[in-house]
Structure 1
Amino acid sequence: MAPIDEHDWAPRKRHTDPRSARNVASGRRGIGRTLSPGRHRPRGPPRPTATTAATGAGCGPGRRTREGGTDVRYVEAGGTRVAAIGLGCWQFGSKDWGYGREYGETTALELVRTALDLGITLIDTAEAYARGASEAIVGRALGDRRAEAFVATKFTPAAPTSARVVDHGRQSALRLGVDTIDLYQIHWPNPAFPLAPQLDGMRRLLDEGVVAHVGVSNFGADRWARADGFLGRPVLTNQVHYSLLWRKPDRGNVGYAQANDRILIAYSPLEMGVLGGKYSAEHPPPGTARRRNPLCLPENLARAEPLLATLRRIAAAHDATPAQVALAWLVRRPHVVAIPGASSVAQLRHNAAAADLDLTDAEVEELTAESDAFRPVGGLDTARGLVRRFRAPDAGED
């Protein structure tokens, strides 16, 4: 069910330290590296545990500290502090994710700028999203506020030679309008090509200052460790599919992140709205992208109903939404941040508020138990269900 089996491109940009007087006074939440601007980590092993810079305490599943009177939940690792909730921008410039023929650039610009206002400074995109249009939109949206953002993008590993990695990194930086990409990630493992040349290209980009940190995406823990070895310095992040309905990262990646002072970035944390509680077996979600997702099959929505009912009940107890509860559960996991997408500013604000939602230990345990009990249909049943969905008329399809 996972998209990939192993779920298994100058002078440097200046960055704003969120602990500075300006940020403390404004109560901003966000990301700030403890390294001096324009420097990357030297070669060598990572620190053994993640820490919370403002308190000196271990962050574990994500510590709250108070800055300017505002509760902040963040994870710090490898000299970088990351707000627990980021913004995924795969929908920018694309019609492929159920947002219609065009995802209006005005909306995208408003989302990015509002995200920065809310302290959502981790902005994630990729060269593959709308063939580079997402990166360009993000760059225009950041404008003169680039120093407030922690910009992450991804390299598409098709024929991934070292020279190709370097060339594509430079092109992404141009589209984003930055001198230095904060986090440059390999989008997925390509088993047809060796990994070492890709990390050699990443190392060259680090040395040139085109990127500040290297990450991977859709890597299993063993391959993540191999990438570390090839790079010769820490591969800071791994972006993986992770949610209450998809727990595969618990089988290796979460432990690796904890043990090696790394960060796990969870994409699809709301499973295209399934964990928002508004869909059911009788009313499955519309849209081509959702049709491709086996979790959106009526059979799987029916099997997920006990978990969805628990989400709704806990949400009611907190005057929250099921989606906020699902995000709050996820960012309590050790060394995990989430990058939900958003189709509106209102949805973005709801996502941001999830980081401040205090679930009780009993509620977390109950959600985990319901998640453990979820067993989706698989194999031929999944294939047949997807065929049925693609053949069925869809009034919600543009």
Structure 2
Amino acid sequence: MRYVDGLDTARKYSVIGLGTWQFGSREWGYGDAYASGESAAIVRRARELGITVFDTAELYGFGRSERILGEALASSGGTDDVVVATKILPVLPLAPVVQQRGIASAQRLGVRRIDLYQVHQPNPLVKDPTTMRGMRALHDVGLVDDVGVSNYSLERWQGAERAYGSRVLSNQVQFSLVHQDPLDGLVSWAQETGHVVLAWSPLAQGLLTGRYDASHRPSNALRQTAVWLPENLDAAKPLLDLLREVATGHDATPAQIALAWVVTHAGVVAIPGASSVAQVESNAAAAEIRLAEDEHAALTAAARAYRPRTGVPALPSLVRDKLPI
């Protein structure tokens, strides 16, 4: 495993972490057996492989994910050598609410201190100064070590940091070969200033695994978006073919190459989920893949050439896709 270089934090951040949205979240359809058994095995194996970043949120399963993760960490060695990261559901993130929710998350996780406490989404009505007052209070009493945000623009991230009065360590954003927007500002700023970008959905909900095409699409309801329309899967074919080609040269999988591309960028931690021990092993192995400069450039160019039809232009196709044949 590799770790983020030059990061001034109490604990080291592995470049591959573990996202735990699936832990306890009914919408993924993994069932109670996964929550009670496989999730603990995944966490245990992740630790053995050197993964230190474990990310959850109050929203995931409305607290179930935090409880499951906390129990899994406790049973596999405690939390003294890992980064426990969670997020507040920012429905009304006023300072007193932030303090209350932080205490509740710590109790569910079974920890005395949350290593990274994040604002899950920017609130359009509640401004960051009041939210960050709550975060500051949690930090000052020792309940929170580092503070982060999620899905923030660079400008709002910087504004939140000014409101907090010291470093807001991280910004968790969607970042992958097919969601490259963070490259235009967020990633470079993080690299220059000692911050971290946490990449959620680094495999684009499975698109970059190369398992799917227009004739074989995922059935999970969470994946019924425009990206999975047959014409968009056809548009992704050149990128997926290149991923397979590069993967062959490294004796790897397309998913591992997609993760390796993300963590090639300094200051970035990828936090893919894992449905099995085998998947967390595969994810962790991606940290050791070193892409050549020409491979990285070719993947970036292919990704920039991929232009799926989304938003309003995709609505007619989405409607047709849902209609019975």
TM-score range, shorter chain: over 0.9
Shift of 1:301: 1.1
Equivalents in 1 of 2:317, 2:262: separation in Å? 28
Whole-angstrom distance in 2 between the partners of 1:213 and 1:387: 44
The one-character-per-residue Cα deviations of 1:95-117 (angstroms, maximum 9, x if unpaired) are 21353577432011111111111
Contact 1:76/1:82 (8 A) holds in 2? no
Three-state SS of the structure 1 residue aligned to 2:171 is strand
CA contact (8 A) 1:328 1:359 kept: yes
Q: TM-score when scaled to structure 1?
A: 0.78
**Post-superposition CA distance 1:186-235 (Å, at most 9, x none):** 00101121111100000000001111000000000000000000000000
1:345 equivalenced with 2:277 (yes/no): yes
Shift of 1:282: 1.7
Q: How does 1:65-144 map to 2 (within 5 A)?
A: 72-79=2-9, 81-99=12-30, 103-143=34-74, 144=77
**Gaps spanning 5+ residues in structure 2: where?**
none
Note if contact 1:245-1:371 (Cα within 8 Å) is conserved in structure 2.
yes
Q: Does 1:259 align with 2:189?
A: no
Deviation at 1:240, TM superposition (A): 0.2
Q: Name the amino acid aligned to 1:377.
A: R
Q: How does 1:185-200 map to 2 (within 5 A)?
A: 185-200=118-133
Distance in structure 2 (CA, Å) of the matches to 1:376 and 1:125: 29
Name 1:227's counterpart in structure 2.
160
Counterpart-to-counterpart distance in 2, 1:323 and 1:382: 26
Please point out which of 208, 228, 231 is paired with 1:299. 231
The aligned counterpart of 1:374 is 306
CA contact under 8 A between 2:227 and 2:310: conserved in structure 1? no
Other-structure match for 2:93:
160
SS in 2 for 1:355: helix
1:165-204 equivalence runs, <5 A: 165-204=98-137
* Comparing 122-131 and 96-105, the one that deviates more: 96-105
TM-score after normalising by structure 2 = 0.95
Q: 1:360 to 1:378 in 2, by over 3 A?
A: same
Could you tell me which residue of structure 2 aligns to residue 57 of structure 1? none
Would you say how many aligned residue pairs link Structure 1 and Structure 2?
322
Q: CA deviation at 1:328?
A: 0.4
Tell me the distance in 2 between the aligned counterparts of 1:241 and 1:322.
19
How high is the sequence identity, in percent, across the aligned residues? 46
Verify: 1:238 aligned to 2:171, yes or no: yes
Secondary structure at 1:249's aligned position in 2?
helix
Contact 1:75 1:336 in 2 (8 A): no
Question: CA–CA distance in 2 between the matches of 1:112 and 1:278?
Answer: 25
Q: What one-letter code is carried by the residue in structure 2 that aligns with 1:212? A: D
Residue in structure 2 matched with residue 33 of structure 1 by the alignment: none
CA RMSD of aligned residues (A): 1.6
Deviations 1:139-166 (CA, angstroms, capped at 9, x unpaired): 1001142212210000011111100000
Select which of 74, 83, 89 maps to 1:150.
83
Residue 215 of structure 2: aligned partner? 282
Q: Structure 1 CA distance, aligned partners of 2:323 and 2:151?
A: 30
**CA contact 1:236–1:263 (8 Å) conserved in 2:** yes
Q: 1:389 to 1:169 in 2, by over 3 A?
A: farther
